Structure 1
Amino acid sequence: MPTATDPRVRLVLSTCPDAQTADALATALVDERLAACVNVLPGIRSVYRWQGAIERSQEVLLLIKTTAARQDELIARLKTLHPYELPEALAVEAVGGLAAYLGWVDEQTRDDD
């Protein structure tokens, strides 16, 4: 079981154009055991440079909890499912947390097949 300082848990951030897309992505990632949990945060505003212009978009942010072992597969699947030409996929290593929660993330993302 992971300890409270286990680096195996990852938080992957990704933005979506709308709630319907965000829900579909979250459901697929959890259903496929690539993510233990996905928080869907509507109502964010993104400002970014795209193809030489400053863009502003209303988006939905996904906070995807996974493990280091499933991170690459999750990002590949996210890219396949995502409608954006270049979807955000930024993985952050969890440097701490409640050991029982970190263990739950590990358990929920095991590929038991």
Structure 2
Amino acid sequence: MNRYIQVITTVDEKEEAEMLSERLVERRLAGCVQIIGPITSTYWWNDKVENAEEWLCLIKSEKRLYDELERTVKDIHPYETPEIICIPISQGSEKYLEWLSKELKQNE
């Protein structure tokens, strides 16, 4: 089972992305959140095709924290149905992953 994960979400304003990333890092649910944007997303919503400018958040964490991380994103996310996708990290720089683990919430 993979220990490390990257969680992806999008929001419609840079300020929301910054607020989300700061909250996750402050709570130590993420060691790092990268914000990319603006990007353009095309999707179905309410029976029609939509195009929106969004900001992509790449959240680095550990699988053990996923449930709490997802709840936190849902609690503060502005969308009715936010994209929250978890991707396992199968390999990575040993030093980076050690750093990541040290920055995350420890088992209580």
TM-score scaled by structure 1?
0.91
Query: Aligned-pair distance for 1:112?
Result: 6.2
Structure 1 position 67 matched with structure 2 position 75? no
Which residue is 2:26 aligned to? 31
> What does residue range 1-113 of structure 1 map to in structure 2 within 5 Å?
7-111=2-106
CA-to-partner distance for each residue in 1:52-83, whole Å, 9 max, x for gaps?
11110000000000000111110110000001
Instruction: Give the Cα separation in 1 of the matches to 2:99 and 2:47.
Output: 43
Instruction: Give the Cα separation in 1 of the matches to 2:81 and 2:101.
Output: 28
- Taking every aligned residue pair, what percent have the same amino acid on both sides? 33
Instruction: Give the Cα separation in 1 of the matches to 2:8 and 2:104.
Output: 17
SS of 1:54's equivalent in the other structure is strand
TM-score scaled by structure 2?
0.95
Instruction: Give the Cα separation in 2 of the matches to 1:112 and 1:92.
Output: 22
- The runs of at least 4 aligned residues of structure 1 exceeding 2 Å deviation read 110-113
Distance 1:69 1:112, change over 3 A: closer
CA RMSD in angstroms comes to 1.3
Distance 1:41 1:97, change over 3 A: same
- Letter paired with 1:88: E
Instruction: Give the Cα separation in 2 of the matches to 1:54 and 1:108.
Output: 40
- Letter paired with 2:13: D
